[in-house]
Copies of this chain bind each other. A is one copy, B any other.
Amino acid sequence: MTANAQESFAAWCIRQQGRLEVALTDAIPVSGPTRLGEAMRHATLGGGKRLRALLALAAAEAVAGGADGLQTAEAAAALRAACALELIHAYSLVHDDMPCMDNDVLRRGKPTVHVAYGEAMALLAGDALQTLAFETLTPPDGSVNPCVQAALCGLLARASGHQGMAGGQALDLASVGVRLDEKQLRLMHRLKTGALLAASVTMGAACVPDRPASARDALARFGEAVGLAFQVVDDILDVTADTATLGKTVGKDAADDKPTYVSVLGLQRSRAYAHTLHQQALDALDASGLSFTTRLRDLTALVVQREK
């Protein structure tokens, strides 16, 4: 089955989510004498919107002028980038849910990894999921251009480490019970959630090398706006959704005395801010000079209008 511009957004999402599930299942073996692989699969498979992966795939298509414009090695790189992003996201959730962090017991409607497999295995599974992301980006079979491999590893590492996601989590940790202003809150979220979402877009674009820097820069701005919008909407949903819809415990941030956009800006201004970020993202796409941005536009709408 091939992709084309006429395929509906919903059909595209379902098709890509299916490809991702297969690729992630293949990437995580469950053989061997321990339950490590099983715990890694528990954390990764069978759920999630795969937003980061979809952004990467859509960005690669946008830069290539549509799915048909992707060469075989570029399409292979994009699928690997998409999987690596989901593996990093899964690892961060496993560790974030642990008792010494958020101590959450429910994730995507399932028991969290430490509840199902114990704390030590959750620690190891998270560690091994992070490593697997970089393994996924560096296939030794020559299917992905080594320059693209190196670029993807660099982008992913810089987005998820001490200057990105992990740095944001450290800020989050330090902010419990502390009154942050909007600027500090934005820094925390730009690192904690935004960096990886923005990297999803830049990594997707990096799979198709030798394209104009202007398009790349515009996509980077798009990714930043979407990343921030995601967190604002997350904070809104934490107070407006119910646990059954959300698939995780609601009101958790407020109960943990963590600063959120809603606690800093109030609900109404948070909604207005999400709307502004949505517009900024669309403006960046307009400025990119790329013709095939429909998937990225649809994904932005999904981020802002989602109910879980």
Contacts and interface: CB of A to CB of B under 8 A. Distances in A.
Interface of A: 28-29, 32-37, 40, 91, 95, 98, 100-101, 118-121, 123-124, 126-128, 130-132, 134-135, 137-140, 146-147, 149-151, 153-154, 156-158, 160-162, 166-167, 169-171, 173-174
Contact of A170 (B36, B98, B151, B167): B36
8 closest Cβ pairs, A-B complex? A131-B161, A138-B154, A100-B119, A149-B150, A128-B166, A36-B170, A135-B157, A34-B170
Contact of A173 (B34, B37, B151, B154): B34
B137 A167 contact: no
B157 A138 contact: yes
B132 A134 contact: no
The count of identical subunits is 2
B138 A160 contact: no
Nearest to A160: B131
Contact of A134 (B120, B126, B134, B171): B134
Nearest to A126: B127
B161 A128 contact: yes
A140 B146 CA distance: 14
Contact of A33 (B130, B156, B162, B174): B174
